[in-house]
Amino acid sequence: MSTTNAEEYRFLVRIERLRVPGLVDTLTSQAPDVAHGLEVMAEKALDEVQALGKDGWRLASHSVAFTAGLAVLTLVLVR
């Protein structure tokens, strides 16, 4: 069996700390901070994906999670 056509996978993970909400903050009041954090992560990840694209890597899947004041962006790349 030949493995010359086997695909390679790579994970790219970006983490951005979000402002910790205060006691009276609502989800709505946190939205601008969350949006800014996602914009920063997306810009950095896009630069990295474009650089990897020169080697044939392309985006296969993604996920965004929020936990403990962190936004976690996970990208699955394939070539």
Instruction: Write out the DSSP string of 11-62.
Output: EEEEEEEPPPP-TT--HHHHHHHHHHHHHHHHHHHHHHHHHHHTTT-EEEEE
Domain residue limits at 18: 9-78
Residue 20: pLDDT band (50, 70, 90) is low
What's the structural domain count of the chain? Answer: 1
Residue 1 within any structural domain of the chain: no
pLDDT over threshold 70, residue 75: yes
| Radius of gyration from C-alpha coordinates of the chain | 16
Residue 37 within any structural domain of the chain: yes
Which pLDDT score, from 0 to 100, does residue 17 have?
84
Return the half-sphere exposure (C-beta side, CA atoms, 13 A cut-off) of residue 59.
14
Which pLDDT score, from 0 to 100, does residue 21 have?
63
Residue 4 within any structural domain of the chain: no
Tell whether pTM > 0.95.
no
Q: Rounded distance, CA 57 to CA 9, Å?
A: 9
